Structure 1
């Protein structure tokens, strides 16, 4: 008995191969598109989280600019303090214009300042001792220095010998180091608060991208105690109340804030911007001039293929004893 075997002829085989190829291309394209979309979503989500973290940290500090609790002295000159010296070769963050000597750079009057890095390479002094190797200050980003007290009263038994504090009463304020109170703890009716001096700098690296660093004055030296990756620029515009009605008539960039504005309590609010940028380029992104308009007031370079995310908020400043070094 002869068994007849059935199979594909050449035409059927070619048709099936074409169908299979079309399906394979479709599935591969869908997989690639899904992966690209997932990577894009992951990048945007990461930038959102990092921008939000940086913004929250800045808000906490900026909101408390000039915070000296119940002290009601005439000016920051009334706050006495010891000479705060730093070890040789330590990190030194002093504005080049209107700068002071290292011996008094941490006084509340001279420690509060803001500059934009576009002012030039001499924005701060001794920056080589502050930045890691191959890092530089990011261009067109504000550098903000804030000296204030932390709003948590410290019991005398909890004072750390290496930290700085402020003994505050309504008519007297004295900064001291924990191991050398110099009579500060004996001030009548004084509360003791931790003394904070933070300086925020955005750093840039050729291959590692950008990051926001916070330097804190600890035991006679500035220490980099915070890094938020992928932060490209920060900017703080201050709200100025020129007619004393308690509301800002305009928001001014740092270069337009004067010493008189601080001394007469015209600074009532701040508008904070944080621009995050992915570490790696996305060649599928066409960030032309029109696309970059949404990142105002920043001006990112066109067609550099970096994905960005912008966050901003406005905060009230209730303590206006800070004097800006402009």
Structure 2
């Protein structure tokens, strides 16, 4: 039997490639994808910048408005329900503190600061410390049970009896248990052993440059936040003595500061970064103290926002 060898031949396989048209289509698709990814990245980055600047503005506004509101609510507080019900007297170099001066304000250009309105608040800011004994008038030394609030030389203190109040400037403090406070000048009122001694503070808020500053009688001046472009303040005036605001007026129109029972603050804030919005923003803000917002076109591409709050003066509201 004869065996034959069989030889199998595989068909030749030729190397294939891409044609010019296929290459052009692939390149076009790649460019489309690349452009889409680029636009997505740019859009996401811009959205992040916008949201980040907005969040910082809102945080700053919340902080500064809360700080101002806390001080405004306490305006005129001296341990009694209402400063208007007592007769404050001042001696030596202590600041005046009357019902008319618990809150005072200035319109743009008439008070401290470079831009916007300004406001000043005065009140007792510490808890009260009780006297050790009754205190007759015209006594240069004031004795209290202890000194938990750290009263020291040059502090302004209020001796509050709710019938009369003396403001004194401390010249010396001595004692570790019962504490003796020596002050400048002679007091005018007499006080019972149950009456209190409290520290008095005066705050002024105003804009310097683009920062909101807070000036303190005892602590000096410090910048609270940056990015404040304008501040407008109107005052709720009680015209019929019922303890509620009847009309809101700017500082120049307030005839009697004792009748101010609330304060409305509007802040114009700008983002820290420029080129946040695609074109200059148009915003509404009362720029001329007439109580009516004006439409303003920004000079840059920052993000602008207006924040407004109304605060009641706790010691004057009904």
Tell me the TM-score range normalised by the shorter chain. Answer: 0.7 to 0.9
TM superposition shift of 1:199:
1.0
Match of 2:257 in 1: 262
2:107 is matched with which residue: 97, 102, 116?
116
TM alignment of 1:166-205, pairs within 5 A: 166-178=158-170, 179=172, 181-182=182-183, 187-188=191-192, 189-204=194-209
> Cα distance, 1:176 vs. partner?
3.1
Within 5 Å, give how 1:280-291 maps onto structure 2. 280-282=273-275, 284-287=277-280, 291=282
8 A Cα contact 1:114 1:254, kept in partner? yes
SS at match of 1:194: strand
Q: 1:73 deviation in Å?
A: 7.1
Query: Contact 1:153 / 1:193 at 8 angstroms: preserved in 2?
Result: yes
Q: 2:61 aligns with which of 18, 36, 51?
A: 51
Corresponding residue SS for 1:41: helix
What SS does structure 1 have at the residue aligned with 2:21? helix
Q: 2:315 aligns with which of 308, 314, 319?
A: 319
Q: Which has the larger radius of gyration?
A: 2
Distance in 1 between the 2:48 and 2:16 partners? 46
Contact 2:78 2:124 in 1 (8 A): yes
Alignment correspondent of 1:28 = 38
User: Contact (CA 8 Å) 1:51, 1:310: kept in 2 or not?
Assistant: no
5 Å matches for 1:234-249? Answer: 234-249=231-246
| Cα deviation 1:281-319 (Å, max 9, x = unaligned) | 23634345xx313x4555474142231222222222243
SS at match of 2:204: strand
The aligned residue for residue 278 of structure 1 is 271
TM-score in terms of structure 2 length: 0.74
Which of the residues 297, 304, 314 maps onto 1:302?
A: 297
Tell me how far apart the structure 1 counterparts of residues 199 and 31 of structure 2 sit (CA, whole Å): 70
- Call closer, same or farther: CA 1:243–1:193 in 2, change over 3 Å: same
Q: Structure 1 residue 157 and structure 2 residue 157: aligned? A: no
The secondary structure found in structure 2 opposite 1:157 is: coil
Q: TM-score, normalised by structure 1?
A: 0.72
Distance 2:22 2:30 in 1: 12
- Partners of 1:4 and 1:74 lie apart in 2 by 105
Instruction: Pick closer, same or farther for the CA change 1:167–1:272 going to 2, 3 Å.
Output: same
Which protein is richer in helix relative to its size? 1
Is 1:228 matched with 2:217? no
Select the structure that is richer in strand: 2
1:251 CA displacement: 0.7
The C-alpha deviation readout for 1:161-188, integer Å capped at 9, x for no partner, is 143322211223222344253387x942
Post-superposition offset of 1:80 = 2.3
Q: 1:58 to 1:299 in 2, by over 3 A?
A: farther
- Deviation of the 1:3 alpha carbon: 4.4
Q: What CA distance in whole angstroms lies between the structure 1 residues aligned with 2:182 and 2:294? A: 48
Deviation per residue, 1:76-111 (Å, 9 max, x gap): 873223315xxxxxxxxxxxxxxxxxxxxx322468
The Cα shift of 1:226 comes to: 4.5
Given that 1:144 and 1:200 are in contact with CA atoms closer than 8 Å, whether structure 2 keeps it comes out as yes
Distance 1:74 1:248 in 2: 17
